[in-house]
């Protein structure tokens, strides 16, 4: 079964409401990192801006940022750049306006990928997602999506440490990476720490990742793993010195998969590859979020929210607008619904433990 991509419903800019709309207003930034008053804040949806009578789609978007008009007068080319507030420079021409219906030259296309027909029933059971939801079709569609994206897209994973706490889920994630189903991985210090702990001691926080038995003085193991890595100075040297030949860190390096580790205040160590500057970490994550066509977030609430908030609902590839598919997987209903509360509406949720989820994927994809 081939994957059936959602088609983009383009707006008809020949309609009178768009033809009669004014060009956008802009105002230059006067202070670094500060937008002018009445700036337009971006959303996750496709957004168009009218410049010199032409509606221009903003590419590489992100919610809660500002739209900056970039003009090349020699080539008569205008484009819209989406910038974080902290990256604004004096002279940047920020687009102004708080309406999104085209009346100020700004149009937010919220129904670009709408495909569901409205139900004729005013009352229906099980319209949300919960532990009781049936996910068979969700899994089948995800299998087809990932097969398509391996050859045509850019797959980003956002991993929590639960992925490496279990021998089978750790092995399954490794198999998915080796079979081409990952282009970049976002995680924190803990994921890499416990993955390396598993490689060195077959434990996670001192507990055997298969038998779940606790080893004597096992609570030292993750700190020992960090200490060994810091002594080595890099993952590459640690892997060489300790003869590590399994796990997510090893497999990412072997297959040249980007592993972005963003630090936090609670981190032990941290490991030598962890980015301790939060904005530097965001910049690194944003580089890959800009390219993502499918994002899978597993059992990590804060990293999921961060990634969801910097990932738009669409990508423009070879001039074509296509959806970005975002999945959040967690055993907690609260965790999977949190992204919706934060504004990332285009999310599919699967409520299950990530060990079962990854094993399902590996058995159906890594063949």
Where is 130: in which H helix or E strand?
none
- Encode pLDDT of 211-242 as tens digits: 999 999 999 999 999 999 999 999 999 999 99
Find out whether 172 and 361 touch, Cβ atoms under 8 Å: yes
Domain ranges within the chain, ordered by starting residue: 16-108, 136-365
Note the helical H segments in the chain. 16-19, 136-152, 167-178, 189-201, 221-232, 235-242, 248-254, 278-289, 301-310, 333-341, 354-365
CA gap 58, 83 in Å, rounded: 11
CA gap 256, 184 in Å, rounded: 9
Task: Give me the residues paired with residue 79 across strands.
Answer: 70
CA gap 81, 162 in Å, rounded: 37
| pLDDT value at residue 127 | 52
Residues in the chain: 367
Query: Among residues 119, 108, 2, 117, which one has the least CA distance to residue 46?
Result: 108
Q: Is 208 exposed, middle or buried (0-12, 13-18, 19+ CB in 10 A)?
A: middle
Long-range CB contact pairs, 149-153, < 8 A, 24+? 149/181, 149/293, 149/294, 150/179, 150/180, 150/181, 152/293, 153/293, 153/294
Four-point Cα dihedral 195, 201, 202, 204, nearest 10: -50
Low-confidence stretches of the chain (pLDDT < 50) are 118, 125, 344
CA gap 61, 308 in Å, rounded: 12
CA gap 293, 314 in Å, rounded: 8
CATH code for the domain defined by 136-365: 3.40.50.10690
What topology is assigned to 16-108 in CATH? 2.40.420
- Encode pLDDT of 329-360 as tens digits: 999 888 887 776 555 456 889 999 999 999 99
CB within 8 Å of 18: residues ≥ 6 apart: 11, 12, 50, 55, 102, 107
Q: Within 10 A of 132 (CB to CB), how many other CB atoms are there?
A: 7
- Encode pLDDT of 27-56 as tens digits: 999 999 999 999 999 998 999 999 999 999
| pLDDT value at residue 35 | 98
> 14 in helix, strand or coil?
coil
């Amino acid at each position: 079964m081939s994957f059936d991509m959602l088609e983009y419903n383009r707006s008809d800019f020949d309609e009178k409401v768009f033809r009669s709309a004014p060009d956008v207003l802009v105002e230059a930034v006067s202070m670094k990192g500060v937008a002018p008053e009445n700036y337009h804040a971006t959303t996750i949806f496709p957004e168009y801006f009218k410049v010199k009578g032409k509606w221009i789609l903003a590419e590489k978007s992100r919610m809660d940022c500002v739209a900056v008009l970039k003009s090349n007068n020699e080539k008569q080319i205008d484009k819209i750049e989406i910038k974080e507030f902290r990256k604004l420079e004096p002279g940047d021409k920020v687009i102004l306006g708080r309406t999104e219906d085209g009346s100020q030259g700004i149009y937010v296309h919220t129904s670009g990928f709408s495909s569901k027909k409205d139900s004729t029933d005013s009352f229906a059971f099980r319209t949300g997602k919960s532990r009781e939801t049936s996910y068979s079709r969700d899994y089948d569609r995800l299998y087809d999506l990932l097969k398509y994206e391996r050859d045509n897209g850019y797959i980003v994973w956002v991993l929590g440490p639960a992925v490496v706490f279990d021998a089978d889920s750790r092995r399954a994630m490794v198999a998915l990476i080796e079979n081409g189903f990952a282009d970049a991985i976002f995680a924190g210090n803990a994921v890499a720490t416990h993955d390396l702990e598993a490689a060195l001691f077959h434990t996670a926080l001192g507990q055997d990742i298969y038998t779940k038995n606790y080893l004597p003085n096992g609570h030292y193991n993750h700190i020992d793993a960090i200490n060994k890595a810091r002594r080595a100075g890099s993952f590459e040297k640690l892997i060489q010195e300790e003869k590590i030949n399994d796990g997510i860190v090893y497999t990412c390096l072997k297959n040249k998969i980007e592993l972005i580790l963003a630090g936090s205040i609670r981190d032990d160590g941290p490991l030598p590859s962890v980015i301790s500057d939060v904005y530097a970490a965001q910049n690194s994550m944003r580089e890959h979020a800009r390219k993502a066509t499918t994002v899978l977030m597993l059992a990590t609430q804060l990293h999921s929210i961060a990634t969801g908030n910097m990932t738009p609902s669409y990508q423009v590839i070879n001039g074509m607008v296509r959806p970005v598919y975002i999945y959040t997987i967690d055993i907690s209903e609260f965790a999977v619904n949190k992204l919706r509360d934060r504004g990332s509406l285009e999310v599919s949720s699967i409520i299950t433990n990530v060990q079962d989820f990854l094993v399902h994927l590996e058995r159906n994809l890594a063949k």
